[in-house]
Amino acid sequence: MLRIHCPYCCEDRAEEEFVYAGEAGITRPLAPEQLDDAAWGDYLFFRTNPRGAHQEMWFHASGCRRYFKVLRDTVTYALAASCRMDESLPLPAVDVLP
């Protein structure tokens, strides 16, 4: 069971209140019609899937119903930080991929 900190409600709440919403920091291209198939496929389907620190989005479905960002370790499942969508997560300085 994860206990996730919602930066809007300002408290740790049980995982069941939240819905996972995928990797954070994926920006939809402003002009999709100008992309080639490779760039569009990369945007749609390719994620970093790191073994270690992962920045991701969660939706507080049973709470404030707002999206926010979380920094979580995908091996230990420890949550390092949460922030609002317009803020930046304190990303680790080194890439944790082995």
Q: Which tokens hold the place of 49?
A: 């899937």
Residues 9-68, interacting with another protein (CB under 8 A):
15-16, 19-20, 23, 37-38, 41-42, 44-47, 49, 51, 54, 56
Half-sphere exposure of 16 (CA within 13 A, CB side): 1
Q: Provide the terminal-to-terminal Cα distance of the chain, rounded to the nearest Å.
A: 26
Does 94 contact another protein by CB under 8 A?
Answer: no
Size of site (CB under 8 A) for another protein: 26
Q: Cα angle vertex 6, ends 15, 58, to 5°? A: 60
Contact residues toward another protein (CB under 8 A) are 1-2, 15-16, 19-20, 23, 37-38, 41-42, 44-47, 49, 51, 54, 56, 72, 74-77, 97-98
